[in-house]
Amino acid sequence: MIPRIRWVSFAVLALLTIASACLAAEGELVYKPGQGGVGGQLGGSYFGVDRMFGADWFGDYSKWAMPRFSFAGQFRYVHSRHWRWQVSPGFTWTAYKTGTAIPLTDVNFPNDRVKDNMLVQLLSSTAQIQYVVKRGRWFYHAGAGPGVYRVWIENRRSIYKDPETFRLHRGVYPGGSFEFGAERFLRAITTTSVEFTWVNHLVLAQRHEQFPNGYDSNLMATELRVGVNYYFDPLRRKKQGIEIIEAK
């Protein structure tokens, strides 16, 4: 787990470094239709309710789950004054409060009775349409869209296995996300914004025929993140090339 966190952190820092280098050359750009944007965010996540309806909202994914770090990147395209689209890969995970009972016997470690060495990991890839409202240097947005999620459960670094079907608890599932955010553009660097985001993911991970003995529910993860965005004109180089050719 630690090497994975280290690599993700390095990737986010590299992204921010590249964005800073680009600012020196293209600092005159501002947010407007036709621009693209890249960014990275760090924050925390919490695996909330597993079931949207019913007497027991908290299932095996969320019961006594502990907050953990989350990481995400995003690419945006500004379509109009109020609308833009975004694609965003991300990663987060959860561990559990010491002494939390395991819902079923782990085939790999049958003597384990608690989740002390257990992790649930979530790799996300989402697409959203976002509605944006401008207030001075602040841009507020609300967005929603579909996603594809990879979920896997580890106990002592081994994939958890259902004791009845012997299926490994890992898979790729459909789902969706919605988010609210606010970003403020810097006065001196008009291509760069600092953004705060609240994101919710709903993963349709229920597979009763595969996992009848536990972790057989949907999953909802909530994230609070902060990061930076860099906006640029993706057609600028092409336009400059056309101008040079015309000048010749």
| Tokens 């299926």, residue located | 167
Query: Fold for domain 2-103+120-150+175-247?
Result: Porin (2.40.160)
pLDDT at 107: 87
From residue 42, alpha-carbon distances to 39, 130, 201, 242 in Å are: 11, 20, 16, 39
Average pLDDT over residues 217-229: 95
Task: Tell me: pLDDT of 2 over 70.
Answer: no
Nearby residues of 12 by Cβ (< 8 Å), 6 or more positions away: 40, 41, 42, 71, 73, 227
For the stretch 127-144, pLDDT in tens is 999 999 998 889 999 999
In this prediction, residues 96-106 reach a mean pLDDT of: 89
Q: Are 219 and 54 in contact (CB under 8 A)?
A: no
Element (H, E) at 7: helix 2-26
Residues 156-191: tens digit of each pLDDT:
999 998 888 888 999 999 999 999 999 999 888 888
Q: What is the pLDDT of residues 75-85, one digit of tens each?
A: 999 999 999 99
Q: What's the pLDDT score for residue 13?
A: 52
